């Protein structure tokens, strides 16, 4: 079955960077898209960006350009998101989610990872 | 960006029908494709896809969930509501990048 397993919770200092992972199984990673999302508890969901695992092509929400960098490792079927120059406003739950068509609805999600930015 | 507007909350009795609406700031339809999707999220969990392209039931989702609409106005219906359906429901459009979500409708018991 399809699984997206995200890395564990992170506590990071302001100004630092963090790299989140999303390890997949149960489907053909290289022919799918992986998106990342931000959700502050109690608030709605924001799309950060998307990567096509086949060629590493990316698209970003303008709001997150320069903040997030998406990559994949097709040998391990894992997607990554680097978040840089972290501030307290980056404290949130981050999800990865798959889409397999260009209609871009998200049929499988990771469990989410809480990132807390605090000194 | 396309803005999706949802009512914040809806109170419903178990066994009754719940109708959750979502209005887009511009059309999210292309030809015969309505690019609106619906998700359920429970506290502490990831979102779950319920309906894709306005009216298509996602895999494993019970038939008491249904979706309709086109253009700018869309509806998610749950009939009959069960206790396990108490959650927050989000609409999401993929007509234009960036994909955007509504603020969510919290389904509550009356």
Q: Give the pLDDT confidence score for residue A93 in this predicted structure.
A: 98
Looking at chain B, which residue has its C-alpha nearest residue A111? B46
Residues 57-96 on B with a CB inside 8 Å of A are: 58-59, 90, 92, 94
Q: CB contact, 8 Å: A106 with chain B?
A: yes
For A116, B36, B80, B93, B94, the CA distances from A10, given in Å and listed in that order, are 6, 33, 40, 30, 30
DSSP A41: T
Q: Do the beta carbons of residue B83 and residue B14 sit within 8 Å?
A: yes
B101 and A47 in contact by Cβ < 8 A?
Answer: yes
DSSP B28-45: -EETTEE-EEEEEE-TTS
Q: CB contact, 8 Å: B31 with chain A?
A: no
Along the 119 residues of chain A, how does pLDDT read in single tens digits? 999 999 999 999 999 999 999 999 999 999 999 999 999 999 999 999 999 999 999 999 999 999 999 999 999 999 999 999 999 999 999 999 999 988 889 999 999 999 999 99
Cross-chain CB nearest to B52 (options A35, A105, A112): A105
Alpha helices in chain B, H assignment, sequence order? none
For B27, list phi and psi in degrees, rounded to 5.
-60, 140
Q: Which residues pair with B67 in a beta bridge?
A: B76
Q: How far apart are CA A49 and CA A64, in angstroms?
A: 8
Average pLDDT of chain B to the nearest whole number: 97
Q: Give the pLDDT confidence score for residue A102 in this predicted structure.
A: 83
Looking at chain A, which residue has its C-alpha nearest residue B103? A44
Q: CB contact, 8 Å: A105 with chain B?
A: yes
Question: B11: burial class by Cβ within 10 Å (0-12, 13-18, 19+)?
Answer: exposed
Q: Give the pLDDT confidence score for residue B58 in this predicted structure.
A: 98
| CB-facing half-sphere around the CA of A34: CA atoms within 13 A | 32
Question: For residue A85, is it left (φ>0), alpha (ψ between -120 and 50) or beta?
Answer: left
B21-38 residue pLDDT tens: 999 999 999 999 999 999
Q: Give the pLDDT confidence score for residue A103 in this predicted structure.
A: 81
Mean pLDDT calculated for residue range B86-103: 97
Q: Do the beta carbons of residue B46 and residue A94 sit within 8 Å?
A: no
Q: Give the pLDDT confidence score for residue A101 in this predicted structure.
A: 85
């Amino acid at each position: 079955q399809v699984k997206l397993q995200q890395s564990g919770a992170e506590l990071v200092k302001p100004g630092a960077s963090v790299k989140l992972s999303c390890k997949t199984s149960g489907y053909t990673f290289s022919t799918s898209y992986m998106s990342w999302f931000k959700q502050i508890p109690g608030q709605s969901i924001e799309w950060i960006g998307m990567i096509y695992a086949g060629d590493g092509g990316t698209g970003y929400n303008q709001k997150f350009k320069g903040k997030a960098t998406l990559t994949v490792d097709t040998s391990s079927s894992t997607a990554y998101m680097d978040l840089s120059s972290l501030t307290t406003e980056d404290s949130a739950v981050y999800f990865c989610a798959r889409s397999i068509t260009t209609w871009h609805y998200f049929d499988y999600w990771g469990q989410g990872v809480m990132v807390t930015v605090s000194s | 960006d396309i803005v999706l507007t949802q009512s914040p909350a809806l109170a419903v009795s178990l066994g009754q029908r719940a109708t959750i609406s979502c209005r887009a700031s511009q059309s999210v339809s292309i030809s015969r494709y309505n690019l609106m999707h619906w998700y359920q999220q429970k506290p502490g969990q990831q979102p779950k896809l319920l309906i894709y392209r306005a009216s298509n039931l996602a895999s494993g989702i019970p038939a008491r969930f249904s979706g309709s609409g086109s253009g700018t106005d869309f509806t998610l219906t749950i009939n009959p509501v069960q206790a396990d359906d108490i959650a927050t429901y989000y609409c999401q459009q993929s007509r234009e990048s960036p994909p955007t979500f509504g603020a969510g409708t919290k389904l509550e018991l009356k």
